[in-house]
């Protein structure tokens, strides 16, 4: 099977499995797991923040961040297709008592001008704005990357109004690779950042939330409340350290594979794609021109040992990662061509 459904499907490398087997561990709820402590220190250093905490999932990291920055009855400004709004089971409402204030942006990137108009002052009618959330790279906008200047404008503007900014940086290392700068520079203006070790960086489990020492100390308490206080988590952190130190350099190849696929998909009759917009490891394309729905398309690909999912009524999403090399991408492409050609011919007949 060539699995391009997500970069979460990456399996731990043999180096990771060895490190996991040999990891020095302790009880992390007591703060005594040396490997977790090392991972948290390194993550904080790499992000240029005072502290970081290991959480089991990105959803928990975002949930804790929303809770840290808001009070009940506030609004969280986010992009309309954002993960925090659409794919986290309404956790901002469930756990933090907040309402999302989604703003649509065709390319997934919010501009300060759009945000400023939606910031609610204290008053007799409005829920006050508690937090601005930005997603970099933007998953459902095809891995779009925030320009550094836009992050600075949003953060400066928000901070002037006393509003905090959280970055859902599940794939912020992909953004850094695309911009050719350090993640530290990208996240410098924001108050907290969550990133995933478990996506293209390849760790089996784990995300990190980084911010001020005070925020992260409080965040540990919310993590415990959410059931995220893990014990000998050093076995996970050992793989996480390899993901963090060694795997950012692998992302370049993922991006080249994504561009290769995007360029080739643009030549297939019936497939719609904005190939030049592909900046990182996510390729979103429209199959409606073939006459097939994404789920039909997906089922036909599966019969050909290729896994790619639909994301809505007309689009599908490929996510490249280190477990599928160029030859695998080439083969997936051939199967997509076959399915598309068969469908287009069938529709004509």
Per CB under 6 A, contacts with ligand PLP among 308-347 are none
Angle 184-139-58 from CA coordinates, rounded to 5°? 65
Between 200 and 332, CB nearer to ligand PLP? 200
CA nearest to 228, candidates 99, 98, 83, 56: 56
In angstroms, rounded to a whole number, what is the distance separating the alpha carbons of residues 21 and 90?
Answer: 37
C-alpha distances in Å from residue 320, one per residue of 21, 72, 153? 28, 39, 31
The residues with which 129 forms a beta bridge, in sequence order, are 75
The SS3 call for residue 143 is: coil
Show Cβ contacts of residue 22 under 8 Å, excluding neighbours closer than 6 positions. 238
Between 187 and 196, CB nearer to ligand PLP? 196
Between 43 and 335, CB nearer to ligand PLP? 43
Between 37 and 57, CB nearer to ligand PLP? 57
Residue 200 contacts ligand PLP per CB under 6 A: no
Per CB under 6 A, contacts with ligand PLP among 91-150 are 135, 139
Per CB under 6 A, contacts with ligand PLP among 257-296 are none
Specify the residue for token string 């499995």. Answer: 17
Residue 202 contacts ligand PLP per CB under 6 A: no
Between 35 and 62, CB nearer to ligand PLP? 62
Between 65 and 344, CB nearer to ligand PLP? 65
Per-residue contact string for residues 36-75; x = within reach of ligand PLP by CB under 6 A: ---------------------xxx--x-------------
Per-residue contact string for residues 206-225; x = within reach of ligand PLP by CB under 6 A: -x------------------
- From the centroid of its chain, how far is CA 123? 35
Residue 196 contacts ligand PLP per CB under 6 A: yes
Of the chain, the end-to-end C-alpha distance in Å amounts to 31
In angstroms, rounded to a whole number, what is the distance separating the alpha carbons of residues 76 and 100?
Answer: 5
Out of 168, 177, 191, 254, the residue judged to bind ligand PLP by CB under 6 A: 168
């Amino acid at each position: 099977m060539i699995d391009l459904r997500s970069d979460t499907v990456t399996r731990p490398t043999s180096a990771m499995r060895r490190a996991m087997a040999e990891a020095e561990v302790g009880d992390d709820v007591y703060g005594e797991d040396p490997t977790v402590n090392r991972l948290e220190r390194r993550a904080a250093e790499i992000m240029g923040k005072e502290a970081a905490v290991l959480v089991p999932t990105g959803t928990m990291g975002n949930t804790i961040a929303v809770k840290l920055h808001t009070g009940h009855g506030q609004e969280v400004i986010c992009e309309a297709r954002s993960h925090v709004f659409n794919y986290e089971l309404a956790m901002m409402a469930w756990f933090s008592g907040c309402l999302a204030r989604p703003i649509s942006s065709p390319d997934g990137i919010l501009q300060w001008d759009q945000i400023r108009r939606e910031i609610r002052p204290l008053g007799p009618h409005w829920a006050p704005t508690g937090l601005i959330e930005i997603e970099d790279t933007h998953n459902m906008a095809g891995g779009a990357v925030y320009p550094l200047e836009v992050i600075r404008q949003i953060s400066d503007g928000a901070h002037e109004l006393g509003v905090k900014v959280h970055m859902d940086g599940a794939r912020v290392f992909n953004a850094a690779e695309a911009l050719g700068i350090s993640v530290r520079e990208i996240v410098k203006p924001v108050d907290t950042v969550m990133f995933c070790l478990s996506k293209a960086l390849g760790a089996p489990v784990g995300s990190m939330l980084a911010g001020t020492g005070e925020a992260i100390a409080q965040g540990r308490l919310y993590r415990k409340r959410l059931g995220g206080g893990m014990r000998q988590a050093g076995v996970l952190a050992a793989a996480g350290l390899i993901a963090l130190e060694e795997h950012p350099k692998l992302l370049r190849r993922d991006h080249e594979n994504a561009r290769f696929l995007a360029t080739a998909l643009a030549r297939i009759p019936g497939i719609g794609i904005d190939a030049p917009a592909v900046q990182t490891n996510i390729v979103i394309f429209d199959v409606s021109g073939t006459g097939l729905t994404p789920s039909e398309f997906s089922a036909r690909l599966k019969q050909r040992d290729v896994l790619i999912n639909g994301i809505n009524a007309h689009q599908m999403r490929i996510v490249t990662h280190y477990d599928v090399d160029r030859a695998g991408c080439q083969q997936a492409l051939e199967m997509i061509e076959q399915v598309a050609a068969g469908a287009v011919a069938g529709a004509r007949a």
